Amino acid sequence: MSDQCDALQNLINAFTTLPSVGAKTAERYAYSIINMDRDAVMFFANSLINAKDQIHYCKVCGDFTDKDICNICSSRTSDTICVVKEPKDVRAIEKSKHYRGLYHVLHGTISPLDNKGPNDIRIKELVERVQAGDIEEVIVATNPDVEGEVTATYIAKLLKPLGIKVTRLAQGIQMGSDLQYADEITLTKAIEERRPL
């Protein structure tokens, strides 16, 4: 038992499990929760539980959704699929409000160092989708790092023999940086000026 209040320490510990939250920030968060009224804390807690219970992969694209099929898959018709590493990347591209095609979320990239091969990410589902639908172009928008490039090359090798145009985002997004940190203008330009693979 510490000299401090255990319940407070537990709350601080819970916040430190989040990315980019250090001890000081966790402490600030914990105190601000304690100062909220009970309804506000309940709303906060319920939002966490509901998100965890209701959010799963879209049956078609693999993005997060609380329905069977996500809003984008159920409302858009397009012959273009943009392939991304993570759901966060869909949000980043959607924010640029320029791309109006479909998405496919891989939930990872090929990474031999982490023992992650093509079968560990949603590449098989992508090939099945392309074979089943009227898809003409696949834009590979994995991050411009080694894993992202290896994954893009692998996807191009699989899809080009099927008669699909496979493209890659134009340079502009810094090598080694994450797609989600690119600003909207850079992202729009990278999509517009995509190059064939």
Q: How far is the CB of 56 from Zn ion (least distance, A)?
A: 11
d(CA 193, CA 182): 15
Supply the minimum distance, in Å, between the C-beta of residue 94 and Zn ion: 12
x/- letters, 13..52, toward Zn ion (CB under 5 A): ----------------------------------------
Site string for Zn ion, 58-97 (x = CB under 5 A): x-xx-x------x--x------------------------
35-54: burial string, b at 16+ Cβ within 10 Å, e else = eeeeeeeeeeeeeeeeeeee
Neighbours of 32 (CB within 10 A): 9
Token readout for 97 is 């409000």
- In the chain, DSSP assigns E strands to 56-57, 64-65, 80-84, 102-105, 137-140, 165-168, 195-196
Question: 11 is written with which tokens?
Answer: 């709350």
User: Of the two residues 124 and 157, which places its CB atom closer to Zn ion in the complex?
Assistant: 124
CB 87 → Zn ion: shortest distance, Å? 10
Residue 87 vs 148, nearer CB to Zn ion: 87
CB-nearer residue toward Zn ion: 60 or 191: 60
Whichever of 70 and 182 has its CB closer to Zn ion, that residue is 70
Question: Of 58 and 141, which CB lies nearer to Zn ion in the complex structure?
Answer: 58
Buried b (16+ CB within 10 A) or exposed e, 137-149: bbbbbbbbbebbb
Instruction: Please tell me whether residue 105 binds Zn ion under the rule CB under 5 A.
Output: no
- Strands 137-140, 102-105: parallel, antiparallel or unpaired by DSSP? unpaired
Which residues are at the interface with Zn ion (CB under 5 A)? 58, 60-61, 63, 70, 73
